[in-house]
Amino acid sequence: MSAVPAIHSGNFKRLQARLRGQVGKAIGEFSMIEGGDRVMVCLSGGKDSYTLLDMLLSLQRAAPVRFDLVAVNLDQKQPGFPTQVLPDYLAALGVPLQVIEQDTYSVVKRVVPQGKTQCGLCSRLRRGALYRHARENGFNKIALGHHRDDIVETLFLNMFHGGRLKAMPPKLKSEDGANIVIRPLCYVPERDIERYARARGFPIIPCRLCGSQPNLQRKAIARMLASWDRDHPGRVDSIFTAIRNISVSHLADSAAFDFVTLRAEQGPECGDSRRPLPGQGVCSRDGGA
């Protein structure tokens, strides 16, 4: 594990500048934030959401346009949840905080059998509560703390367990069209967030639902990717780059690419003894036009 840079050291300043640059690049390339936006920053108390808020605050101070940031926490009524940690932290920063109180913890514990993955139901309940709060309180953007590794892990989860080539988009319109979700950390590797969070000394609040389950498929995928990156440095970077460089015509989804009407502009060269495929035409020597 790499050393944690002190916040006044050159290493930390370079790390901070790199993260800020990556977040700024993502916001610019995907038009995540515009002048007049009211951005709801979802703050769970984990390293990712703290880093997200830090980066957005830094960019807000230097941005040429004005936009508002409000931290929103979903109080899921987890037993022993330290309710004063986030209010105290945000009060010191001067950042407004809104708390949504919804007992999703009891619902998940009651509905999901012991030993089964709780993440699916938990995430749906969280998403519904956050979307509703955004609509009711005039937010037009919802910022989530998913990073580059989350996106790559989701790609493999969907491939291995859902049979779909699908990841997390940097910017997403909700199904009802009422919310725009943004992921400003989409270019940031998790290892850099871990170093940054330790250096900043964020008051981390552990999750007692999905964070307490050791055998999650996502964790298995994360271990697989970590092993690949350890044996072949840069592999995860390459996978993420591939997500951003898709050749739909070189996959096999007929709903995404029109293979049915695909035709060659001219037939195969004369003298080619191979039989032409249906729809490709024939050489004039063989009686073609």
- Calculate ∠ Cα 281-285-289, nearest 5°: 50
What predicted TM-score, i.e. pTM, was given to this entire model? 0.83
Q: How sure is the predictor about 6, in pLDDT bands with cuts at 50, 70 and 90?
A: confident
DSSP letter at 65 equals S
pLDDT value at 286 more than 50: no
Question: What pLDDT does 125 receive?
Answer: 79
The bridge status of strand 171-173 relative to strand 180-182 is: antiparallel
pLDDT value at 128 more than 80: yes
pLDDT value at 285 more than 60: no
Q: How sure is the predictor about 108, in pLDDT bands with cuts at 50, 70 and 90?
A: low
**Alpha carbons 26 and 184: distance in angstroms, whole number:** 6
Question: What pLDDT does 282 receive?
Answer: 45
Question: What pLDDT does 249 receive?
Answer: 95
Residue 97, beta-bridge partner list: 71
b/e burial code for range 119-149 (CB count within 10 A of at least 16 → b):
bebbeebbbebbbebbeeeebbbbbbbbbbb
The bridge status of strand 38-42 relative to strand 68-75 is: parallel
For residues 285 and 41, the model is more confident at 41
**Alpha carbons 74 and 77: distance in angstroms, whole number:** 9
For 156, residues 6+ apart whose C-beta sits below 8 A from its C-beta are 221, 224, 225
Assess contact for 154 and 164: CB atoms under 8 A: no
In whole numbers, what is the pLDDT of the chain averaged over residues? 86
Domains in the chain and their CATH numbers?
A: 10-249 (3.40.50.620)
Q: Which residue has the tokens 């899921």?
A: 76
pLDDT value at 284 more than 50: no
Least confident of 15-19, 81-85, 157-161: 81-85
What share of the chain has pLDDT > 90, as a percent? 67
Q: How sure is the predictor about 123, in pLDDT bands with cuts at 50, 70 and 90?
A: confident
**Alpha carbons 37 and 170: distance in angstroms, whole number:** 17
Residue 73, beta-bridge partner list: 99
Q: How sure is the predictor about 81, in pLDDT bands with cuts at 50, 70 and 90?
A: confident
Q: Which residue has the tokens 């007929």?
A: 254
Q: How sure is the predictor about 289, in pLDDT bands with cuts at 50, 70 and 90?
A: very low
Question: Per-residue pLDDT averaged across 265-284, rounded?
Answer: 54
Rg (alpha carbons) of the chain, rounded to whole number: 24
Q: Which residue has the tokens 């346009």?
A: 65
Question: What pLDDT does 176 receive?
Answer: 78
